[in-house]
């Protein structure tokens, strides 16, 4: 086996492993839902897939633990922003921080190593400054790429929560007006919202579980706002706490909040629609217009080249 074949094999295995890791990372909500069902008494035993997923996390965390400490913050990890971002991304397993920081260290070392290996095989001649700049650029890219993936996961999850939360408030309002208590209404809304948004249903179920184990309503709601990081949910929590403090009608307050959130969602949709012409401008200029000019002007240019230019040259 030649060195080039070995390099291509390593690159292929790295890409396959990265794709599989991202796929398992994005499919974590199914295991979380099964865990919530088990804790709420809907299932009596742990699912086999849940156990296998937990074992897989433990094995991967054990493998990357020797290199994860190179990127892990030495102090203040319990109060760092990464801990909050993990919660907002839905990564609540104990092995995810180890996997995350292990991926940062591995990519920061692997990408420059692949460049050195590929550069040595291809005999790429470059100055020392260019080589050092390329190595540092790849190391920086590998170190911050997991941060980018985590940020994208947080944004996607927050967007789903923001879009589905007005519907959940409507359900809570209907349940409260029907005579249920606030905790029972949120629990019922969490069960019904599983058809609309499993992420929001899981968060509401976690609030219900915190109330069952003895947490105060203020603590459970504040944790709900902290786990999601959505402004609408923070406004919902503030409204409930103020309503409980001043003794006002919960149903009327929730109905007004629901209407306000729906107006905000409508404004966001109109804003996104207004940005469409600007977003289409660049594909039109750089992709469609050159092809259109080629189709329209191509025959004329060929005619000029074949007929007019020989005539002008012959006339001179």
Q: What is the pLDDT of residues 137-194, one digit of tens each?
A: 888 888 888 888 889 999 999 988 988 888 888 888 888 888 888 888 888 888 888 8
What confidence category does residue 110 fall into, taking pLDDT thresholds of 50, 70 and 90? confident
Question: Does residue 114 or residue 238 have the better pLDDT?
Answer: 238
Percent of the chain surpassing pLDDT 70: 70
What is the value of pTM for the model shown? 0.68
Question: Does residue 233 or residue 5 have the better pLDDT?
Answer: 233
Q: What pLDDT score does 163 carry?
A: 86
Q: Lowest mean pLDDT of 8-17, 50-59, 80-89, name the range.
A: 50-59
Are 230 and 158 contacting, i.e. CB atoms less than 8 angstroms apart? Answer: yes
Question: Does residue 64 or residue 177 have the better pLDDT?
Answer: 177
- Secondary element (H or E) of residue 1: none
Q: Lowest mean pLDDT of 158-167, 270-279, 296-305, name the range.
A: 296-305
Q: For the chain, what are the domain ranges? A: 3-157, 159-274
Q: What pLDDT score does 43 carry?
A: 43
Per-residue pLDDT, averaged over 109-138, amounts to 72
Are 210 and 200 contacting, i.e. CB atoms less than 8 angstroms apart? Answer: no
Write the DSSP string, 237-257: HHHHHHHHHHT--HHHHHHHH
Q: Lowest mean pLDDT of 31-40, 132-141, 162-171, name the range.
A: 31-40
Question: Does residue 132 or residue 15 have the better pLDDT?
Answer: 132
Asked: is 159-274 a CATH 1.20.81 domain? The reply is: yes
Question: Mean pLDDT for the chain?
Answer: 77
Per-residue pLDDT, averaged over 16-24, amounts to 66
**Residue 3 reports pLDDT greater than 80:** no
Burial of 237 (0-12, 13-18, 19+ CB in 10 A): buried
Are 34 and 49 contacting, i.e. CB atoms less than 8 angstroms apart? Answer: yes
SS3 72: coil
Question: Does residue 183 or residue 128 have the better pLDDT?
Answer: 183
What confidence category does residue 31 fall into, taking pLDDT thresholds of 50, 70 and 90? low
Per-residue pLDDT, averaged over 40-57, amounts to 51
């Amino acid at each position: 086996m030649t060195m080039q074949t070995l390099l291509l094999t390593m690159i292929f295995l790295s890409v396959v492993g990265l794709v599989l890791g991202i796929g398992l990372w994005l499919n974590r909500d199914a295991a979380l839902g099964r865990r919530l069902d088990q804790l709420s008494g809907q299932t009596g035993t742990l699912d086999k897939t849940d156990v296998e997923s937990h074992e897989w996390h433990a094995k991967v965390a054990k493998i990357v633990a020797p290199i994860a400490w190179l990127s892990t913050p030495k102090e203040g990890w319990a109060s760092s922003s990464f801990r909050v971002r993990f919660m907002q991304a839905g990564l609540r397993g104990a092995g995810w921080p180890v996997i995350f920081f292990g991926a940062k260290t591995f990519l920061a070392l692997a990408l420059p190593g692949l460049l050195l290996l590929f550069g040595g095989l291809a005999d790429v001649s470059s100055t020392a400054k260019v080589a050092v700049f390329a190595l540092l650029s790849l190391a920086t890219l590998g170190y911050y790429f997991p941060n980018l993936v985590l940020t994208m996961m947080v944004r996607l999850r927050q967007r789903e929560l923001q879009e589905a939360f007005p519907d959940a408030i409507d359900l809570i309002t209907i349940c409260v007006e029907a005579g249920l208590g606030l905790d029972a209404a949120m629990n019922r809304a969490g069960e019904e919202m599983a058809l609309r948004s499993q992420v929001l249903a899981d968060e509401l179920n976690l609030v219900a579980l915190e109330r069952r184990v003895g947490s105060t309503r203020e603590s459970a709601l504040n944790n709900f706002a902290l786990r999601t990081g959505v402004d609408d949910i923070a406004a919902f929590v503030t409204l409930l706490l103020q309503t409980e403090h001043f003794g006002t009608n919960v149903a009327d307050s929730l109905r007004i909040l629901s209407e306000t959130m729906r107006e905000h969602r409508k404004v966001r949709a109109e804003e996104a629609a207004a940005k469409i012409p600007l977003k289409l401008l660049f594909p039109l200029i750089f992709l469609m217009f050159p092809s259109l000019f080629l189709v329209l002007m191509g025959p004329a240019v060929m005619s000029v080249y074949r007929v007019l230019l020989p005539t002008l040259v012959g006339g001179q």
